[in-house]
């Protein structure tokens, strides 16, 4: 009797599993065919709709120059060029020449757009501190009330990369010349299993315009999911400098001691 019930239960479970897999495969096949024969050939028609959705999420005007679509393995792959992000005065504050989006099939069970990979190529970003102390990033004041939804969504993506960027720091309060971070590369990894515990891993590499010929390396991880509550985050950061002249940064930084000269290397771990 018990064996019969167990056998029937296993058979029921097996049939249910096969039915679920068949339905899932059918839905994915329909979605793939829809993307291949309807969405991709007409992707340009959705350019304004995508820009409008991005503007709503960022609470800033966003315009897209061109968009194309193909496949990368089994994942839909989008290439967006000449993305303009405008400030409050309707001026272009940031232009992204090329951005690649690799869409994940996890978007369906997660019920929101989920990316296997987001890659931003060669952006140029200016961070400026005016004489009053107010800081602007790409022309947008940090004092402006921001919407955390977009940045929180980015934290939930599998992988975000920024390649070959240039970041310029202009400090008008100190009346200092521009400091640049060239060949700035950033990788932020938050695969689904890490996302379940709100864990994110990052690596950053940049070449400063002064201080030496070796890059600054920063890596680590952190736990957190809400960018409006970064005070609740915790993690580990590792900073590595090789043959760097720390005195070269005195123009922009206040050291706890008087650094006159000297070249050295350091590896600092902060928890």
**What tens digit of pLDDT does each residue of 144-178 get?**
666 677 788 888 999 999 999 999 988 888 888 88
3-state helix, strand, coil in the chain (%, to 5): 30, 40, 25
Q: Is the pTM of this model over 0.85?
A: no
Query: What mean pLDDT do residues 31-56 have?
Result: 73
Average pLDDT, the chain: 81
Pairing of strands 263-270, 234-245: antiparallel
What single-letter DSSP state applies at residue 91?
-
pLDDT of 257 strictly over 80: no
């Amino acid at each position: 009797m018990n064996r019969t019930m167990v056998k029937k239960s296993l058979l029921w479970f097996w049939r249910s599993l096969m039915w679920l897999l068949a339905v899932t495969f059918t839905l994915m096949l329909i979605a793939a065919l829809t993307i291949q024969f309807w969405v991709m050939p007409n992707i340009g028609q959705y350019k304004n709709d995508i820009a409008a959705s991005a503007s709503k999420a960022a609470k800033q005007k966003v315009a897209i120059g061109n968009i194309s679509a193909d496949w990368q393995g089994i994942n839909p792959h989008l290439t967006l060029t000449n993305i303009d992000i405008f400030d409050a005065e309707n001026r272009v504050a940031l232009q992204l020449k090329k951005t690649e989006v690799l869409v994940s099939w996890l978007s369906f069970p997660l019920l929101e757009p989920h990316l296997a990979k987001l890659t931003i190529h060669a952006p140029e970003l200016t961070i400026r501190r005016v004489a009053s102390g107010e800081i602007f990033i790409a022309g947008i004041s940090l004092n402006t009330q921001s919407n955390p939804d977009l940045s929180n969504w980015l934290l939930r993506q599998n992988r975000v990369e920024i390649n070959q960027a240039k970041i310029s720091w202009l400090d008008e309060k100190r009346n200092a010349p521009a400091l640049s971070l060239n060949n700035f590369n950033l990788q932020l990894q938050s695969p689904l299993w890490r996302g379940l515990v709100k864990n994110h891993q990052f690596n950053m590499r940049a070449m400063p315009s002064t201080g030496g010929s070796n890059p600054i390396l920063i890596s680590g991880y952190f736990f957190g999911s809400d960018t409006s509550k970064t005070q609740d985050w915790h993690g580990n950061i590792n900073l590595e400098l090789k043959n760097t002249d720390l005195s070269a940064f005195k123009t922009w930084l206040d050291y706890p001691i008087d650094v006159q000269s000297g070249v050295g290397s350091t590896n600092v771990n902060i928890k």
